[in-house]
Amino acid sequence: MRRPMMAGNWKMVCDNTAAVELAGGIVADAGQTAGCDIVIAPPFTALSAVNEVTADSPVALAAQNMYWEDSGAFTGEIAADMLLSCGCEYVILGHSERRGRFGVIPDGFTEELRSVFGDNDATVNIKAKAAVAAGLKPIVCCGELLAEREQGMTDAIVSDQVRAFLAGCSDAEFNAITIAYEPVWAIGTGEVCDGDEANRVCGIIRGVVAEVAGQEVAEAMRILYGGSVKPDNVEGLMAQPEIDGGLVGGASLKADSFCTLIQVAARN
Ligand code: PEP
């Protein structure tokens, strides 16, 4: 049996005061929920302050990204050890907003800005290995664009992504990794992927994991769904056998809605 996980990605939302308040609400409401791993990913700047709130609770801390080097002249980057020193247990890697597949382009600028953060499967692979070597557990994201889905390319795109970011991983790395299937067209749009379809794609992902890492690793690996998960659609998603939890943006920014998601995940 895979233990469910509900992970909240706060993105670039919450100053330290708001982050501490939100974390406090989650710890108070859901901190004792058995049967589900609870993860929150505040902005880097709030990690230490939130750690003060979550430290003695079952709520685990994640970062939203990291760099693979240990230290050095990498202005603006964050190393795994720095995240560990802020209390992080997990790190989200390869989110579509970092892969440049879903960039926000300011007026007057061109499509080139889409790749402004520049993550891809190769960099995500290096980051995941560096994260595990340091003692962090990566939550690695994959998912197709709307145009790719419309052209019937979903299975191939997602399979290629998973094969590429798991390339050359050791057993220890496979065991530490959680995969999040996040169709890009469903992120932040309110348009959720149908439960049966999300389950089907998560099954494809598990098949790829079995192909590269063996059946036992695939059976043990958690695969989350992400993309407009809300209290009113979470039941149908969490009831699916291949879906082991959620990676949630908008609905993780209110303690009561996030706690509802946690409770539903814990029941499934
Ligand atoms: C996300 O940030 O990974 C996400 C899925 O966002 P939302 O739940 O808002 O679609």
Q: Which of 14, 92, 181, 247 to mutate to test the pocket of ligand 1 (most atoms within 8 A of CB)?
A: 247
Considering its fold, how many domains does the chain have in total? Answer: 1
pLDDT in tens, 64-98: 999 999 999 999 999 999 999 999 999 999 999 89
pLDDT at 115: 56
What's the rounded Cα separation, in Å, for the pair 171 and 169? Answer: 7
* Encoded tokens for 18: 């708001």
Question: pLDDT value at position 219?
Answer: 98
Find the CATH number of the domain harbouring 144: 3.20.20.70
Instruction: Report the candidate in 125, 44, 105, 49 with the shortest Cα–Cα distance to residue 77.
Output: 44
Q: Output the pLDDT for position 58.
A: 94
User: Residues 155-164, buried b or exposed e (16+ Cβ, 10 A)?
Assistant: eebbbebbee
pLDDT digit string, tens, across residues 156-174 = 999 999 999 999 999 999 9
Q: What is the pTM of this model?
A: 0.95
Q: What is residue 33's predicted lDDT score, i.e. its pLDDT?
A: 74
Residue 31 in this model has a pLDDT that exceeds 90? no
Structure confidence by residue, pLDDT tens digits, 194-239: 999 999 999 999 999 999 999 999 999 999 999 999 999 999 999 9
Half-sphere exposure for 32 (CA within 13 Å, toward CB): 2
Does the pLDDT at position 113 exceed 60? no
Identify the domain containing residue 106 by its residue range. Answer: 5-267
- Ligand 1 lining (C-beta closer than 6 Å): 9, 11, 95, 182, 187-188, 226-229, 247-251
| Cβ 248 vs Cβ 38: under 8 Å | no
pLDDT of residue 100 exceeding 80: no
- How far is residue 12's CA from residue 166's CA, in Å, rounded to a whole number? 27
Instruction: Please name the residue that has the structure tokens 């995941």.
Output: 128
Name the residue with tokens 């029941």.
267
Q: 171 CA to middle of ligand 1, Å?
A: 29
For residue 182, indicate whether it is catalytic. Answer: yes
Question: What proportion of the chain, given as a percentage, has pLDDT over 70?
Answer: 93
Q: Which residue has the higher pLDDT, 32 or 94?
A: 94
> If you average pLDDT over residues 241-256, what whole number do you get?
98
